[in-house]
Structure 1
Amino acid sequence: MHSIFESLTDNIVFTGELKTDILLFLSTNQSTETAKHCFDVGRESKRIALMYNMDPQAAEIAGWLHDISVVFPNSERIEVARQLQIEILPEEERFPMIIHQKISKVMAEDIFKITDEEILNAVGCHTTLRKNSTPMDQVLFVADKISWDQNGTPPYIDALNRNLQESLTHGAFAYISYLWERRDTLKVIHPWLREAYEELKDEIRLL
C-alpha cells in the first residue's frame, strides 16, 4: 500500500467483506455521509445494470467505491495526485474537486485490492465520463447523477430517467447535454467531458 494511505488505514481492522470495510474506512475517516451516498449509488448502479443485462455485482461495487477519495480535502488533492503519480490536467489543477475520480480509482486498487479493470475504469471517470466509455462507465456515471449528494431534486432527473428507458447511452447523454448547455457556468470544462459529449452526440444520432 502506498505510504500516503497508511494514516487512513492504520487504526482499521479490515474484515475482508468489501461493503463493511468501505463503511469502516469512511466512518473512521469522518466521512459517514459519503458512505451513505456511495451505498445509494451502488444500489442505483445495480438496478441500472440489471436493466441492461450487465454484471450487477460489479456495478454495485463500482458505486460503493466511487467517492472514497473524499477523505482527502480539495486543498490536498493535487498534492495527493502528484504523490500517486496521477496525470494532472490543467483543468484539474484549477478545480481540484474533479480529480477525486482518479484518486478513488487508485485507492480502490491499492486499499481495497480491486483488480477488475471494468470497475476501476468506471470509478476513474464517474464524474466526467470519457471518450470510448464502456457500458459500465456509463452505468456508474448515470447512477451517480441519479443518486446525487445534494439537497432537493436534481433539475435534470426527469429527462435523465426518460432517456434511460430508451438506452443507457441516451441516459448518459441526457446528463452530459444538460451540463453542456450550461457549460458557461461551469468552473472548468474537463477535456474528458468535452470528448464524451462529442462522441455520445454522434452515437445518439445513429441509435
Structure 2
Amino acid sequence: MNPQLQSYFEEIEMTGELGRDVTAVLTHHKFPKIAGHVSRVAAEARRLAVQFGADAAGAETAGWLHDISGVIPNGMRVEMCEAFGVPVLPGEADFPMILHQKLSAVVAREVFSVVDTAVLNAIGCHTTLKSGASLLDKIVFIADKIKWDQPGNPPYLAELETAVAHNIDDACRVYLDYLWQRRGSLRYAHPWFLAAHAELF
C-alpha cells in the first residue's frame, strides 16, 4: 500500500468483499453515517445501471467507494492530492471538502485495486458532475443525490425520481438546476458543476 495512505487503512484487515471492507474502514474511523450512505448509494447505482443498460457491477463499486476518502481529514486533502499528482483548483484548495471526490478515486485505485477507468472517473466527479460526463458518471451522480447523506428526504427528491424514471439527463438537469438556483449561497461553485450545467441546459 502507498505509504501516504497506509495510516488510514493499515489497521483494517481486508477480506476482498468490497461492501464489508468499506463498511469496516468507515466504521473504524467512526463514520457510521457515511457507511450507511455508501451502502444505499451502491444499491441505487446498481438499480439505475440496470435500468439504463450500464455496467451494474461497476456502478455498485463506484457507489461503495465514492466517499471512502472521507477518512482523510480536510486539512490533509490538498497535500494528499499533490502527493498523487491530482490537480487542485484554487477554489478546491480553499474548500478542501470538495476534494473528497478526486481523492476517493485515488483510494479506490491505490487501496481497493480498482483499475476500471470508467469506475474511477465516476467516483471522481460524483459530487459535481462535469461536462462530457459518461452514462456511468451520471448514474453515480444521481444515485448519490437520491440517497443523500443528510437526515430526511432531499427537497428535490420527488422531481428527481420522476425525471430519472424516464431519462438520466433529465434527472441530472433537475439536480443541477436545483444547485444553480442556489449558486449565490454556495461556499464554492465548482467549475465542473458550472460546465455540466452549461452543457445540459
Is 1:92 equivalent to 2:98 in the alignment? no
1:54 Cα shift? 1.6
Q: Deviations over 1:40-98 (max 9, x none)?
A: 10011111111112221111111000000100122222222222221000110121111
What amino acid does structure 1 have at the position aligned with 2:98?
I
CA deviation vs aligned residue, 1:119-138 (integer Å, no higher than 9, x gap): 10000000000110000000
Could you list the runs of 5+ residues in structure 2 that have no partner in the other structure?
A: none
What per-residue deviation string (whole Å, max 9, x for no partner) do you get for residues 95-116 of structure 1? 1111110000000000000011
Quote the residue 2:170 is aligned against.
Answer: 170
Q: Which residue of 2 aligns with 1:124?
A: 124
Letter in 1 for 2:23: L
Partners of 2:188 and 2:129 in 1: how far apart? 15
Residue 57 of structure 1 aligns with which residue?
57
2:36 corresponds to 1:36: yes
Distance in 1 of aligned mates of 2:38 and 2:27: 12
CA distance in 1, matches of 2:104, 2:9: 15
Aligned partners of 1:70 and 1:19: how far apart in 2?
Answer: 16
TM-score, length basis structure 2 = 0.96
Q: Which runs of 5+ in 1 are unaligned?
A: 202-207
The residue aligned with 1:71 is 71
Instruction: Tell me whether 1:158 sits opposite 2:158 in the alignment.
Output: yes
Amino acid in the other structure paired with 2:15:
T
Between stretches 13-22 and 55-64, larger displacement belongs to: 13-22
Please say if 1:13 is aligned against 2:20.
Answer: no
Map 1:175-186 → 2, pairs under 5 A = 175-186=175-186
Which stretch shows the higher mean deviation, 101-110 or 48-57?
Answer: 48-57
Superposed structure 1 runs of 4+ greater than 3 Å apart = none
Identity of aligned residues (%): 41
| Aligned-partner Cα distance in 1 for 2:20–2:163 | 34
User: Number of residue pairs matched?
Assistant: 201
Equivalent residue, structure 1, for 2:112: 112
Give SS of 2:165's match.
helix
TM-score (norm 1): 0.93
1:33 counterpart letter in structure 2: K
Q: CA RMSD in A?
A: 1.1
